[in-house]
Amino acid sequence: MDAEKITDPDPEAVGRFVERFASELAEAGMQRMASRVFAALLASKDGAMTSAELALALQISPAAVSGAVRYLSQASMVAREREPGSRRDRYVLHNELWYETFTRRDQLLTRWEKMLREGAETLGPDSAAGARVAETAAFFDFLQHEMHQMMDRWQAHRATLDLD
């Protein structure tokens, strides 16, 4: 695309997108403020913003930004970097964000599956509770297997996309 023809998107339209996407994320279970901060970072030109920029863009307090960023950092969705030549931090989306997020979920599923298999043994494999827990463990095992295959297909597909 010719750089001369690129125009900045309408800030009001961007704001509407951010709020709509944040609402969807919140409805899916993400904290509301973290959803707004994440959507703002996702829609930002560089995928990075300072706390002050986020507060201004979202019309929220620095404390609200801090709490949201803490949540997003714990979920490994954003990283804190020092702004070059400054003492200010900026918050940056991880590269391959969704791939990394789902890969970490895979680690969680591994722990849950192990615990569920132990629970099924504890409850007794012939009991109704043991059978339910064993079926849940089998579901997580199946999900992990499918997720590994899906992530491999995503990497192959991503290589065919013109994203740069």
pLDDT tens per residue, range 45-94: 888 999 999 999 999 999 999 999 999 988 888 988 887 787 888 999 87
Q: Are residues 80 and 101 in the same domain?
A: no
Same domain, 43 and 85: yes
Same domain, yes or no: 113 and 51: no
Which residues fall within 8 angstroms of residue 131, CB to CB, at 6 or more apart? 120, 125
Q: What is the pTM of this model?
A: 0.70
Q: Residue 65 — left, alpha, or beta (φ > 0 → left; ψ -120 to 50 → alpha)?
A: alpha
Q: Are residues 89 and 8 in the same domain?
A: yes
What range does the domain containing 110 cover?
Answer: 97-160
- Binning pLDDT at 50, 70 and 90, where does residue 1 land? very low
Q: Tell me the three state secondary structure of residue 162.
A: coil
